[in-house]
Amino acid sequence: MVYNFKVFKKCSPNGKVTIYMGKRDFVDHVSGVEPIDGIVVLDDEYIRDHRKVFGQIVCSFRYGREEDEVMGLNFQKELYLASEQVYPQPEKSNKEQTKLQERLLKKLGPNAFPFTFNISPNAPSSITLQQGENDQGEPCGVSYFVKIFAGESETDRTHRRSTVSLGIRKIQYAPTKPGQQPCTVVRKDFMLSPGELELEVTLDKQLYLHDERIGVNLCIRNNSNKVVKKIKAMIQQGVDVVLFQNGSYRNTVASLETSEGCPIQPGSSLQKVMYLTPLLSSNKQKRGIALDGQIKRHDQCLASTTLLAQPDQRDAFGIIVSYAVKVKLFLGALGGEVSAELPFVLMHPKPGSKAKVLYHADSQADVETFRQDTIDQQQSVDFD
């Protein structure tokens, strides 16, 4: 029986350094991040000359448009989260190899060397801010890549011909333990009014998955002398660019306005359910919408809620994403409006517990090959 699994491969422009990785998405479990591991294959010339080869995990944070970088301004920071020498390997290296690394080392021969990096769980998640129609250059956001290069030291200036970089993502999945059911009640009194206008908003659950329809349950009790003429429900995405003091803003990613059941006269009440589905397809033209970090050959979608172990410990170079349902009652030109807000969590489900992949002698790897700035065709390698 043949077992199939996928391997990502990319070569440096001079063909002397090649990187192999089993995956490009690494899960942040809030308490810790999965180790980032792979294999580096070096050319015979580098082995003979004992060329030093280093590996790094780089977090790139772009906080301004590339087209605005004039007069020496630079709106991008690169953070080196992990760094180590891959070849010659340190004598005291006692890191355990994964099953995939063992199979690749056996197949790729003596010029193959493993690497494993660990990054802090406080590192920001991979997020991209959607560009406008006329924007050019790299989008703002947080991205990660594995960088392997030949040089004299870790701080040596790298040469593009002997450097290979492969983009990866730091992602989070939905927690398995559900939270409390969200519910809020807002009451507003008016001058010369004997009673209050009460708005109760409830969601079916706290955690929703992408592309899932969200039911907003409304209960309106009008004990005032005002008339409710219209109801509007919205899903708002909150984006907080931590680096800036005033870097917080909101985007409406789904909305529904209705007059059904209105007007709600004094002394009457209304119970209603409004359904909303936040989708990227409905927000393609909006600049600043937060998306999941993008890598080639991956479909984009709205960014997931950012989960933090401690809300006060935010990385200065991170982007925090949150979601909330907002409901407004319009009371006419003179009556004003009443609004209520309810936060919730929007995330991807954790992949199902698939059978553990065993790398047997007859295993076959689908190798997706990347060239510098381009993508090549797929190929496969038999492990025999």
DSSP string across 272-335: EEEEE---GGG-TT-TT-EEEPP-TT----BPPPPP-SSTT---TT-EEEEEEEEEEEE--TTT
At 202 the pLDDT is 96
Q: Is-contact 104 5, C-beta < 8 A? A: no
Enumerate domains of the chain plus CATH numbers.
6-170 (2.60.40.840), 181-345 (2.60.40.640)
Residue 258 vs residue 71, higher pLDDT:
258
At 291 the pLDDT is 93
Q: Name the residue type at position 157.
A: R
pLDDT tens for 163-187 read 999 999 999 999 888 789 999 999 9
At 69 the pLDDT is 76
pLDDT tens for 188-203 read 988 877 889 999 999 9
- Phi, psi for 108 (deg, rounded to 5): -85, -10
At 3 the pLDDT is 57
Sorted by sequence, the CB contacts under 8 Å of residue 259 that are 6+ apart come out as 229, 230, 231
At 128 the pLDDT is 93
pLDDT tens for 148-167 read 999 888 888 778 899 999 99
